[in-house]
Structures are given as C-alpha cells and as structure tokens.
Structure 1
Amino acid sequence: MTAAPNVNKFNTINLIGMPGAGKSTVGVILAKQTGLRFVDTDLDIQVQEQATLQEIVDSKGYLQLRGIEHEVLMAVNLDRALVSTGGSVVYSPDVMARLAAAGPVVYLKADLATLEERIAGAPPRGIASDSNDGFAGIFAERTPLYEQYADITVDAAAGTADQIAEAILTQLEQA
C-alpha cells in the first residue's frame, strides 16, 4: 500500500453504486487511509429504525425506505466524512446536490454478473425499488443515474478492495 495522496483537499468523499459494488468495504479502507470519519448511511438507517433494510421494505415499503434514506442523508454530518451511501440515493436530486457540494462523488461501477455473484447467498438487502425485473432491472434503471452524478468512476470489479481504494485515491489526487 502506498502513502495516502493529498486528499486533505477534500472535506468529504462520497461513494455511490449498486448493492454489492463494495461501498462499505472500500469505504472503511479509504476512511483509514484518508483519516476521514466513516459514515455508512445504510447502517445509520438501521440504527435509527431499529430494523434491517429488508425489514423496513417488508413492513413499510420501498418508498418509505427511500424517504428515511432521504431524511438521514439530509441530516448526516458531512464534515470530514467518507460517506458510503445506499444504492437508491441517486433517486434524490437534493441529496445528491448536498453530497456533491460537500465533496467528490465516486461511483463504484461493476458489471451485473459481478454484482449478482457478490450478493448471491447474502441476506436480502432491502433494495428500495419497484422494479418488476429484479436486480437486473434495478441495475438498468440506476446505472444512468450513477453515471450522471459521478465526479469519478472506478471499476469496482478490477481488483481487491485495497486495489479499488488505491484506484480511487489515485483519481482523487489527479482531480
């Protein structure tokens, strides 16, 4: 691992991407490397609601989960933070504007097959979508939004979590 580049020019770094892209895993590594405070908004939602994301979707519906996600992201302290967002954050333009104003938005991009492999066998993730086309439909629906909001895009299937973190740091240094 190389020394962290001068990312102190960024007060906040925001990670977006599909479930299974590695936002939480890579986010912890980046937080350690940059000295930023790690914020996982999916975990914040679960603590606030005292329920898993899947339980929220099952009991309240996916739109309610999106509403809770919106509230959490509008209230979260973004100062000196490495923020791992929920996959549906891109449905909220005002949240995305807030994140972009705080610091670069990094899209962890992975192909559908990689994402499906990563989430296979994992507990249900409480994905906030009404897509009748399953995970592939959600992927198709969200990909243009991730691309629209991203300042930086990194191939999240191109190595280990440590290698992905290094790729992000390299791109941030060049930004």
Structure 2
Amino acid sequence: MKSNIILIGMPACGKSTVGVVLAKTVNKGFLDTDLLIQQREGRRLQEIIDAEGNDYFRRVERSVLMDFKGSGQVVATGGSAVYFDDAMEHFRRDGVVVYLKVSPENILDRMSNIRTRGISMDKGQTIEELYLERAPLYEKYADITVDADGCTVEQVIEKIVYSSSFLI
C-alpha cells in the first residue's frame, strides 16, 4: 500500500500551499524538498543557482530527492524534480504522484518575480518554454493529474483526496 502523496508541477502551481493543507486534511506529515535543499546548502534557492549554476543545483536537488525515506507524508517537490528519472521512480515506489496542472498564464500571474524565485531554468528561457519542456515529464510520472486552474486550495485538495482514494 502506498503511503505518500507526492506533488509535482511547475513553480507557483501551488504544491507547497496545497501540500500543507492536504497533509492536515489527510493526517499526514508534510515535507517541502525546496526547503530541504535550502537547509542542506544554508542559502536560498536563487543564491545557489546564482553562485553555482543550474547543474550544481540539480545535483543537490537529486541528492535530496534520493535521500527521502519517509512514509505517511505529503511531499511538495521542486518543479525540476521530474528531470531525475531515478528520483521519480524512487517516489513512485511508495507514493501516489499528483501533478498539479496550471496553465503558463496562471503561473505567471501567481509569480511575483521570476528572477528571484529560485527556478532552475536556462538564461533567457521563458515560463512558456519551460512549461513546454516540463509538461510531458509531469504527465509521464503522474499517477493523477489535477487541473488546478481557477480552483481554490480546498477544491484542489478535494480533487486529490477523491482521486487518490483509489490508489492509497
């Protein structure tokens, strides 16, 4: 029986916000892998990317993902977690992977400053381009896809709880 709920999706799609409330709703713990990266490195995501580059950041991110050994958790992953096939398979062994699907337009509306948010993306790359690059990976790894456009946190949680009840 799978005991974890793993949230994947673009930056600003609501993984952390939904994750905290979802964990309380289903009586599970909550982990945010972006926070674990920041704790491990002792600095903010954007500082890591600016100082060390995307390759270094992704190596640290992969290490944090692979180190996860929890059960009974809701895990909010970083948006780039889907670049690591081994890490995603690691999560799928004991978890239901939920893709919070939000349009690029809504992602941009939710972001205050794309350049300071700590997003692992190429220089000059737009959110739309990043979305087109990552969306097939989110769909590949998702056990459940939840359309979160125009939904409240409570509505997204309701969709997740209903859909995941068949898998957990």
TM-score, reference length from structure 2: 0.94
Distance in 2 (CA, whole Å) between partners of 1:116 and 1:77 is 33
1:137 counterpart residue number: 129
2:10 counterpart residue number: 18
Q: Which amino acid aligns with 2:86?
A: D
Is there any run of 5+ residues in structure 2 with no aligned partner, and where? Answer: none
**Structure 1 residue runs of 4+, over 6 Å off?**
none
Which residue, out of 18, 24, 28, partners 1:32?
A: 24
Distance in 1 (CA, whole Å) between partners of 2:157 and 2:150 is 11
Q: Is the 8 A contact 1:131 1:137 kept in 2?
A: no
Q: Percent identity?
A: 44
2:81 counterpart residue number: 89
Q: 1:114 to 1:40 in 2, by over 3 A?
A: same
2:91 counterpart residue number: 99
Structure number with the higher helix fraction is 1
Q: How far does residue 26 in structure 1 lie from its aligned partner after superposition?
A: 0.3
Matches within 5 A, 1:159-170: 159-170=151-162
Q: Is the 8 A contact 2:2 2:93 kept in 1?
A: no
Distance in 2 (CA, whole Å) between partners of 1:158 and 1:169 is 18
Does residue 45 of the first structure (1) align with residue 24 of the second (2)? no
116-125 vs 32-41, which moves further: 116-125
114-123 vs 104-113, which moves further: 114-123
Q: Which amino acid aligns with 1:157?
A: D
Distance in 2 (CA, whole Å) between partners of 1:98 and 1:104 is 11
State the aligned residue count.
Answer: 167
Q: Is the 8 A contact 1:158 1:164 kept in 2?
A: no
Is there any run of 5+ residues in structure 1 with no aligned partner, and where? Answer: 1-8
